[in-house]
Amino acid sequence: MGTALLRLQGVVAGYGRGDVLHGVDLTVEEGAVTCLIGPNGAGKSTVLKTVSGLLRPKRGRITLLGRDIGGLSPQAVLSHGVVHVPQERSLFPSMSVWDNVLMGGFVLRDRAVVRRRIEHIADRFPIVANRRHERAGSLSGGEQKIVEIARALMLDPVLVLMDEPSTGLDPRARQLVFHTITEINEGGRTVLLVEQNARSGLAIAHHGAVMESGRVRLEGTGSSLLADPEVARLFLGAAPANRG
Partner 1 sequence: MHLLVQAVILGILIGGVYALMASGLTLVFGIMRVINVAQGAMVILGAYLSYTLFSSVGIDPLLSILLIAPVMFALGVGIHRVFIRALRAESGEEMSLLVTWATALAIEGVLSVTYTTNLRSTIPGYAQRSWIILGYRVAEVRVFGFVISVVILSALSLLLARTRFGRSVRATVQNPTSAKLLGVDADRVSALGFGIGISTAAAAGAVFGIIYPFNPGSHYDLISRLLSIVVLGGLGSLGGAVVAALLLGVGESVVAVMISPSWSSFVFFIVLIVILVFRPQGLFGVRERGAL
Q: What x/- string results for residues 121 through 160 when contact with partner 1 is judged by CB under 8 A?
A: ------------------------------x---------
**26 binds partner 1, rule: CB under 8 A:** no
Q: Which of residues 38-67 bind partner 1 (CB under 8 A)?
A: 52, 54
User: CA–CA separation, 130 vs 193, rounded Å?
Assistant: 28
- Among the listed residues 4, 10, 68, 107, the single contact to partner 1 using CB under 8 A: 107
- Among the listed residues 6, 35, 37, 91, the single contact to partner 1 using CB under 8 A: 91
Query: In this complex, which beta carbon is closest to partner 1, that of residue 137 or of residue 229?
Result: 137
- Segment contacting partner 1 (CB under 8 A): 31-39, 82-90, 203-211, 235-243? 82-90
**23 binds partner 1, rule: CB under 8 A:** no
- Among the listed residues 19, 30, 99, 219, the single contact to partner 1 using CB under 8 A: 99
Amino acid occupying residue 15: Y
- Segment contacting partner 1 (CB under 8 A): 27-35, 73-81, 171-179, 201-209? 73-81
Query: In this complex, which beta carbon is closest to partner 1, that of residue 142 or of residue 222?
Result: 142
**240 binds partner 1, rule: CB under 8 A:** no
Query: In this complex, which beta carbon is closest to partner 1, that of residue 78 or of residue 232?
Result: 78
User: CA–CA separation, 11 vs 56, rounded Å?
Assistant: 10
The HSE-up count of residue 227 (CA atoms within 13 Å, CB side) is 8
**78 binds partner 1, rule: CB under 8 A:** yes
User: Which residues of the chain form contacts with partner 1 (CB under 8 A)?
Assistant: 16, 52, 54, 74-75, 78-79, 83-84, 86, 88, 90-95, 99, 102-104, 106-107, 151
